[in-house]
Amino acid sequence: MSSRLTIPSRLADVEEKLLAQWPTERWEKVRVVVAVSGGADSVALLRALLRLSAEPRRLLVAHFNHRWRGTASDEDAAWVERLAARWGLCCQIGTMPGEPVPASEQAARDARYCFLRQVAHRFGARYVATAHTADDRIETFFHNMLRGSGVRGLASLQPFRSLDEDLVLARPLLSVERTEIESYLAALDQSYRHDQTNEDPSFARNYLRHAILPALRQRYGEHTFGRLTHLLDDLAEWRDCIDHVARDYLAEVRRLATSAPFRTDLERLTARVGASPLRPALPPNHPSSAERWPPWGVAIPDKSSLPAGWIVVREALRWQWEIRGWPLGQMSRERWHDLRSAWEIATEPVAAVRQLASLPGGLRLLRSAHWIAIAPAEIASGDDERNEDSSGISPSGG
């Protein structure tokens, strides 16, 4: 174990909370990419991991320069390089070539995570660690709520998330508040960088951070964030429970597909779209090959054939969207309503495959007797019957 500085016990809470979330035995024997912007949160994460790790050289610092602030952005990158060198760590700097990344939160996030994944794969890392705090979690809750997200979106920031089959995103500071971060760094006499764009209220999260959340804390007391954190923990448990039920539902779907007449109906769908060379091709040993069933798209029986709660069916469909890389973020409430209507409406079995609606990302909503299917437009087109009105669903644009 690396030598630890003597700091007041009340400040050791930061490290204790980190260890409760992410015990050292889970990460100190593997390579970890630590995302360091130079701000207080990420610097505190790096210092805590250095102090807790028996093999700190397994940590790798990664910094992405968005180049939004010209010279100041370059100075942040140079500062992070010096910090990494001070502790003998490898440091990777990413910079967007050409014009700076457009000044939008989503564009910045996409570019940053693409870089972090590239670094992790280049160095064989198991984890990418980011410094999201309890404050970030609560900001995300309000941000997603005001954008109209469902419960899954409200509980979106969780301690761990798979980036792919070999890489895990870790957020070990989610139970630590920003005030604790600042006190922790003060106790270590550790400086950090200040990004002035974090003060710009034109960014939605900055407005929440500097205007809305302080007002809530002032009105409802210091324990406001703690209460909200407990709510988010409950939402996360709810989400995990629904995920479990949704996976059981998909297992039931596969069992149903082996029985007549459902097998015949599904074979008709497969004959329509499954022979196309454009369908997703995965080797049999690919981690997602068993999950991508059927291989050409998604198929579920209608509600009368396999009763379930819509919330379970929707989460099962969301999971399928994610593992296939379909544009889940473009699925508005109206598009989910199209899917729900198709699933709920019982119709007389018809031999033909019918197209019911268009979905974002070049997808098509199809029906064949008791089966509802979603497939890419390239492999869902054909000479079968088209009847976009008989189901009661009006065609939806992508």
Q: Quick check: 125 pLDDT over 50?
A: yes
φ and ψ at 66, to 5 degrees? -75, -15
Domain final position from 172, 189, 220: 220
Side-chain half-sphere CA neighbours of 26 within 13 A: 15
Cα 27 to Cα 114, 130, 280, 313, distances in angstroms: 22, 14, 34, 35
Q: What is the pLDDT of residue 62?
A: 98
Lowest mean pLDDT among 108-117, 164-173, 282-291: 282-291
Q: What is the pLDDT of residue 23?
A: 96
Q: Quick check: 52 pLDDT over 90?
A: yes
pLDDT confidence bin for 395, thresholds 50/70/90: very low
**What residues have CB less than 8 Å from 368, skipping those under 6 apart?**
265, 266, 268, 269, 272, 350, 352, 353, 354
Whether residues 211 and 250 share a domain: the answer is no
Whether residues 265 and 302 share a domain: the answer is yes
* Strand 59-65 to 363-368 pairing: unpaired
Lowest mean pLDDT among 203-212, 229-238, 284-293, 375-384: 284-293
Whether residues 195 and 274 share a domain: the answer is no
* Type of residue at 189: D
When the pLDDT of each residue in the chain is averaged and rounded to a whole number, the result is 84
For residues 82-93, give the mean pLDDT.
97
Q: Quick check: 357 pLDDT over 80?
A: yes
Whether residues 92 and 196 share a domain: the answer is yes
Please name which of 363, 356, 348 lies closest in space to residue 388, comparing C-alpha atoms: 356
Please name which of 152, 119, 151, 157 lies closest in space to residue 137, comparing C-alpha atoms: 157
Whether residues 192 and 251 share a domain: the answer is no
Which CATH number do you get for residue 144?
3.40.50.620
Helix or strand (DSSP H, E) at 92: strand 90-95
Question: Can you give the residue range of the structural domain that contains 138?
Answer: 13-220
Residue 98 lies in a domain: yes
Q: What is the pLDDT of residue 393?
A: 46
Q: Quick check: 163 pLDDT over 90?
A: no
Q: What is the pLDDT of residue 174?
A: 94
φ and ψ at 375, to 5 degrees? -145, 155
DSSP state letter for 163: E
* Type of residue at 2: S
* Alpha-carbon 207 to chain mean position: 23
Whether residues 289 and 316 share a domain: the answer is yes
Residue 6 lies in a domain: no
Whether residues 163 and 116 share a domain: the answer is yes
Residue 116 lies in a domain: yes
Whether residues 212 and 247 share a domain: the answer is no
User: Is there a contact between 238 and 155 (Cβ–Cβ < 8 Å)?
Assistant: yes
* Strand 371-376 to 298-301 pairing: antiparallel
Residue 311 lies in a domain: yes
Whether residues 274 and 199 share a domain: the answer is no
Residue 318 lies in a domain: yes
Q: What is the pLDDT of residue 15?
A: 95
Q: Quick check: 381 pLDDT over 70?
A: no
Query: Cα(168)–Cα(165) distance, rounded to whole angstroms?
Result: 8
Q: Quick check: 40 pLDDT over 90?
A: yes
For residues 151-162, give the mean pLDDT.
82
Residue 352 lies in a domain: yes
Domain final position from 220, 255, 272: 220
Residue 4 lies in a domain: no
Lowest mean pLDDT among 81-85, 129-133, 134-138: 134-138
Whether residues 104 and 244 share a domain: the answer is no
Q: What is the pLDDT of residue 386?
A: 43
**What residues have CB less than 8 Å from 233, skipping those under 6 apart?**
none
Whether residues 60 and 174 share a domain: the answer is yes
Q: Quick check: 388 pLDDT over 50?
A: no
φ and ψ at 119, to 5 degrees? -65, -45
What SS3 class is residue 75? helix
What SS3 class is residue 279? coil
Residue 7 lies in a domain: no
Please name which of 44, 83, 47, 48 lies closest in space to residue 63, comparing C-alpha atoms: 83
**What residues have CB less than 8 Å from 195, skipping those under 6 apart?**
37, 38, 39, 69, 76
> Model's pTM, two decimal places?
0.73
pLDDT confidence bin for 263, thresholds 50/70/90: confident
- The predicted-structure confidence for 2-31, as pLDDT tens digits, reads as follows 444 555 555 589 999 999 999 999 999 999
Whether residues 171 and 85 share a domain: the answer is yes
- The predicted-structure confidence for 289-338, as pLDDT tens digits, reads as follows 446 678 888 999 999 999 999 999 999 998 888 888 888 878 888 999 99
| Total domains in the fold of the chain | 2
Q: What is the pLDDT of residue 155?
A: 79
